[in-house]
Amino acid sequence: MTYEGEENNQNMSKQYIFPSGLRLVVNKIDTSKSVAVGVFVGVGAGFENEFNNGLSHFVEHMLFKGTTSRSAFQIVDEVEKVGVKINAFTSKVLTAYYTSSLDTHLEKCLEILSDIYYNSTFNADEMNKERTVILEEIQMGEEDPYELCLDNISTAFYGYKGPGQNILGTKKKIKKYTPVDIKEYFREEYIPSQTVISIAGNVGETLVYDLVNNYFEKFASQGTTAKQRENNESPVYEELIVNKSYEQSHIAIAFPGLNILDDNSNALKMGSNLLGGGMSSRLFQRVREELGLAYNIFSSTSAYLYSGVFIIYLATNFNTVTQAIEAVREEIDKVIASGFNEEEFLKAKEQFKTSLALRMESTYSIMLSAGTNLLIKNSLFSFEDELRKIDDVTLEDVNKVIRDVFEGQDCAVSYVGKRTTNNVKMLLRK
């Protein structure tokens, strides 16, 4: 076992690396009465391919469907009896299983998470039940125009590969997967060197280390090596149109962004916030408040290992698609020509600092940030470092990075609504 530590004003962030390659990060928070535990695995839709798309999410579901010693009901019943909250999620870059509880239930949380990680049975009957659940989940997404539009924008930008793949998979693939497929995928991907355990709360570090050693490292296979992930994130800039008889048209536009390790990520996020991140943002004020052309409009960023996307989304009446897109284009042109001003920039910076401070008051948020940082960025999360990075961003940084997003760049488009002859790309280029 090796140890690395980092101290800040709020907590001590320590990393332990076990012989198997399993990593543990601990954030001790003396003032808290709760503890959050997360098991992070470096597997998600962005690393899948045409043969296994959707399996990361399917495995996540199956880990709650019974172990060699517990039924699916017993898993949740045991934790809920003592007030523990347990859940999981799958993203494009990781899958996480986590609990939130009083600090007195730390060992119970680790024991349960260890049981589902190592002893899940992947029962065929349970798999068929969960297959139906996932198919319903996919159907719900297809019937929600907002969700469908945002799901499709990733595919329009990347194509049917890497982050362009749906986290849930496709109906055709989900129907075909067998217990063997699930077990093989799990065996190949759920390895110690691709796993991080993150714990935040009022815990003793020696106790935490001993518990993780007992419930995780003791059962870990030795000598595994984390997989090298290929760069399958080259953009294709397509336009995906889904014709639905909705009165409202849902439109998403994606431009190239920054990868998850880029030093300018904070500047880009601030630029996104000022353009379309809140009720005082330029897009919201112009397109929604002044022109009344959209009920919902915003911008956001997503970052992956090798690339990122900058997305603008809006929902507008079918008859006002042209006017709404032209209004969006005008705001983009203003940003390219003049950038943001000092007053806007200082507002964004304060919002980011406040958001960070509020996150640091939650053991769950600290656990999530620490686990994600270590797994994806291979670095320890530090409140002081993050605050310094925000303070270091200048107005010039924000204006440069936002111009780089839009100026001379192609884009991808997702459209869900009534059949239209409008070409969103052409409207943006006028």
Q: Provide the pLDDT for residue 300.
A: 97
- Residue 225: inside a domain, yes or no? no
Q: How sure is the predictor about 301, in pLDDT bands with cuts at 50, 70 and 90? A: very high
Residues 416 and 272 in one domain: yes
- Residue 226: inside a domain, yes or no? no
Q: Is the pLDDT of residue 197 over 80?
A: yes
- Residue 30: inside a domain, yes or no? yes
What is the model's pTM? 0.94
Report, as residue numbers or ranges, the catalytic residues. 60
Which whole number is the average pLDDT over 413-418?
94
Give tens-digit pLDDT for 227-266. 888 899 999 999 999 999 888 999 999 999 999 999 999 9
- Residue 228: inside a domain, yes or no? no
Q: Is the pLDDT of residue 9 over 60?
A: no
Which whole number is the average pLDDT over 329-339?
96
- Residue 230: inside a domain, yes or no? no
CATH number at residue 366: 3.30.830.10
Give tens-digit pLDDT for 56-72. 999 999 999 999 999 99
Structural domains of the chain, count: 2
Residues 70 and 208 in one domain: yes
Q: Is the pLDDT of residue 268 over 70?
A: yes
Could you tell me the CA-to-CA distances from 424 to 238, 276, 297, 329 in Å, in that order? 11, 19, 16, 10
Which whole number is the average pLDDT over 172-186?
96
30: tokens are 């003396």
Q: Provide the pLDDT for residue 369.
A: 96
Residues 180 and 308 in one domain: no
Could you tell me the CA-to-CA distances from 365 to 99, 202, 355 in Å, in that order? 12, 14, 11
Type of residue at 229? R
Residues 206 and 257 in one domain: no
- CA-nearest of 424, 423, 28, 49 to 232 is 49
Residues 200 and 272 in one domain: no
Residues 169 and 44 in one domain: yes
**CA distance linking residue 185 with residue 66, whole number of Å:** 18
List the domain range (segments joined by +) for residue 160.
2-219
Residues 211 and 90 in one domain: yes
Q: Is the pLDDT of residue 430 over 70?
A: no
- The fraction of the chain above a pLDDT of 70, given in percent, is 96
Which whole number is the average pLDDT over 69-93?
96
Residues 131 and 252 in one domain: no
Q: Provide the pLDDT for residue 400.
A: 97
